[in-house]
Structures are given as structure tokens and as C-alpha cells.
Structure 1
Amino acid sequence: MGKARMLFALSLVVVLLLVETTAPHGQAHAIDCGASCSYRCSKSGRPKMCLRACNTCCQRCGCVPPGTAGNENVCPCYANMTTKNGKHKCP
């Protein structure tokens, strides 16, 4: 009986963690755009422009891909945002 309760408790914790760490489509958890974009743009050749674009994208999407480049599959909204000229907006 003790193992069954322990397994149930562990399962409950896992489910709660999954619920807390995944946002439904269209909603985003609070993110520190400033810190995320500072790191994302830390190796950019044009850091001020990168930060301005990144912060705009972060505020609209609620996420910034990890790392200084790439990894855009983590945040599809960020990856698919374009400028009015059809160019990729987010660094």
C-alpha cells in the first residue's frame, strides 16, 4: 500500500509540473524579456538593433529561443514573425 501512495504522489507532482511549465497556445508565462534578449543578442554585431527587435518579439510572443542564435523551434511565434517587408524580424 505504501508503494502505491508513493507512486500516486510522484505522478501527481509530475502532472502539476507539466501543467505549470507548459502554456496553452496563445498564452505565455511571464518572461524577463530584458535578460533573455540581452543574452540572445550578446554576440550580435549590432547589439542595439538586435535588442530592440528581440524585445518587441519577446513581448508579442512571450518567449525567446535559448542561446545566442538558432533554436527557434522552441518558440514558433518568435521564429515566424516578419517585418512589413516580409523579412525575418526576430534575431
Structure 2
Amino acid sequence: MDLNILAGAIMIAFAALGAAIGNSNLFAKYIEGIARQPESQSKLFGQTMILFGLIEALPIIGVALGILLLFGVI
């Protein structure tokens, strides 16, 4: 039982860390792209939002599984 709590906490922590690193890289490159070519801002914004959703999908699944581990459902 105690290992489930530890595993759930580690899973939630690494999911949050991975999302933070991925989002920071994504938006840093988005701002860099706008700085290089301001006229392509609308195209870059659409692509950035699609990638933002894809980056956030995996950590959400990781947090959900971590919460299930914390409460002993799995």
C-alpha cells in the first residue's frame, strides 16, 4: 500500500515536470519564431495551440493514473 502512494506521487511529480519543460520549450520557440518573422504569427499560433494540446495530453493521463494509485484503485 505504501509503495502505491510513493509510485502515485512520483508519477504526478514527473508528469508535472515533463509538462512544464515541454510547454516552456514550445512557447520559447513560438516567441522566437514570431521575433524572426512577425508576419507568420497567425500560422505559428495555430500550430502552437495544436502542439500545446498534444503536450498536455500525456501529463493529464499521468496525473490521472497517479491519483488512481494514490487512492488505491489500481
Which has a greater percent of helix?
2
* Shared fold per TM-score greater than 0.5: no
Q: Which has the higher contact order (CA 8 A, sep 6+)?
A: 2
Question: Per the shorter chain, which TM-score range?
Answer: 0.3 to 0.5
**TM-score, with length taken from structure 2:** 0.35
**TM-score, with length taken from structure 1:** 0.29
